[in-house]
Amino acid sequence: MVRFVNSGTEATMSALRLARAYTGRSKIVKFEGGYHGHSDALLVAAGSGALAHGVPDSAGVTASFAQDTLLGVFNDPASVEAHFDAFPEDIACVIVEPVAGNMGVVPPHDRFLQGLRDLTEKHNSLLIFDEVITGFRVEYGGAQQRYGINADITCLGKIIGGGMPVGAYGSSAEIMATVAPLGAMYQAGTLSGNPVAMAAGIATLEQLQEPGVYNALGAKAASLAAGLQEVFAEAEIPLRINRVSSMMTLFFNAGEVNSWETVLASDREGFGRFFHRMLEEGVYLPPSPFEAMFVSTAHSDAI
Ligand code: PMP
């Protein structure tokens, strides 16, 4: 069952409420460098120690909102296991971008998503995949199709509105029965499921169902990445391109970028100079070394 809302923020905020209502537990785990929109419980950064509860990451978020948010390390299931060891009965859910997109693109290690699935199952906690970026992008079935892992709750946004404001969260009928009017968890909104966003979303998804769309997108992105890598090699500037299908990030980094720590070790000023020179040339890249660029079906091979 799926509930439509108006933004990715609303989708993840509601998904947390659902996980808490369904499990009767209060704590959540998110990951350093992960972004799930701007609801209070998710605008939280790591505390001073690995097992400390989170601290507000924005003015206006009070400590009481942050105290039930625990921070894990992306690509490190042991960091989550440590939280479950400390709070075996208190963690309602683990929320993750299955392919990190908001610290730049960082693909999941082979064992990471499966590790989260195993841990949440073992502790009767829910696994939330925030597929606001990856949904209908890395495959028609999102990261869950690509990596063969099923989450308990899925959050969607962006693409499913075809450019109009939208979000959605969905789960099994059993879990969604917690949401009013069937259950006791309240969530509703005046513009949720509005006809304009729904029509734009349906039209977009119909186009994405055309045969070959995802292969073509991946091939276009691969050729862009190869060209960029070649130019940077010629200029002898170390560059690491992380790419999953049509989403990618250029890290000014000589080594592998597979964690928040290695993302931070990239030359961010170098990226800034590159960004502004590209803008002068008429190419508008994402204006931050922590963002992903996306190849679209509308892009062509033309230079
Ligand atoms: N989750 C992820 C993974 C996102 O990238 C974003 C937005 N960039 C959000 C949630 C929040 O979505 P919105 O901006 O529509 O509120």
8 Å CB contact between 188 and 169: no
What confidence tens digit (pLDDT) does each residue in 21-63 have?
Answer: 999 999 999 999 999 999 999 999 887 777 778 899 999 999 9
Residues 6+ away with beta carbon under 8 Å from 23:
92, 93, 124, 125, 126
Residue 22 φ/ψ, nearest 5 degrees: -70, -40
Q: What is the band of 79 on the pLDDT scale with cuts at 50, 70, 90?
A: very high
Pocket perturbation via mutation, ligand 1, pick of 36, 42, 74, 160 by most ligand atoms within 8 A of CB? 36
What confidence tens digit (pLDDT) does each residue in 200-228 have?
Answer: 999 999 999 999 999 999 999 999 999 99
Q: Cα torsion at 173, 176, 179, 183 (round to 10°)?
A: 50
Q: Mean pLDDT over all residues of the chain? A: 96
Q: What is the band of 302 on the pLDDT scale with cuts at 50, 70, 90?
A: confident
What confidence tens digit (pLDDT) does each residue in 239-248 have?
Answer: 999 999 999 9
Whether 35 is catalytic: yes
Whether 130 is catalytic: yes
For residue 88, what pLDDT is reported? 96
What confidence tens digit (pLDDT) does each residue in 169-207 have?
Answer: 999 999 999 999 999 999 999 999 999 999 999 999 999
User: Ligand 1 centroid to 36 CA: how many Å?
Assistant: 5
Nearest CA to ligand 1 atom 13: 8
Q: Compute the average pLDDT of residues 277-303.
A: 92
Residue 141 CA to residue 160 CA, distance in Å, equals: 12
User: Ligand 1 centroid to 35 CA: how many Å?
Assistant: 7
User: Ligand 1 centroid to 38 CA: how many Å?
Assistant: 8
Half-sphere exposure for 216 (CA within 13 Å, toward CB): 12
User: Ligand 1 centroid to 9 CA: how many Å?
Assistant: 6
Q: Compute the average pLDDT of residues 110-126.
A: 97
User: Ligand 1 centroid to 3 CA: how many Å?
Assistant: 17
- Which atom in ligand 1 lies closest to the alpha carbon of residue 7? 15
Residue 201 CA to residue 62 CA, distance in Å, equals: 36
Nearest CA to ligand 1 atom 12: 8
Q: Cβ of 82: how many Cβ atoms within 10 Å?
A: 16
Task: Give yes or no for residue 132 having a pLDDT over 90.
Answer: yes
Nearest CA to ligand 1 atom 10: 36
Query: Of the residues 68, 76, 130, 152, which is catalytic?
Result: 130
For residue 81, what pLDDT is reported? 98
For residue 226, what pLDDT is reported? 97
Pocket perturbation via mutation, ligand 1, pick of 6, 31, 133, 290 by most ligand atoms within 8 A of CB? 133
Nearest CA to ligand 1 atom 2: 36
Query: Of the residues 27, 30, 35, 214, which is catalytic?
Result: 35
Nearest CA to ligand 1 atom 7: 37
Q: Cβ of 288: how many Cβ atoms within 10 Å?
A: 14
Measured CA distances, 14 to 38, 76, 102, 172, 243 (Å):
12, 26, 20, 15, 30
For residue 284, what pLDDT is reported? 95
For residue 72, what pLDDT is reported? 96
For residue 51, what pLDDT is reported? 75
- Ligand 1 neighbours by CB, cut-off 6 Å: 7-9, 12, 35-37, 97, 101-102, 130, 132-133, 157, 167
- Which atom in ligand 1 lies closest to the alpha carbon of residue 34? 3
User: Ligand 1 centroid to 37 CA: how many Å?
Assistant: 5
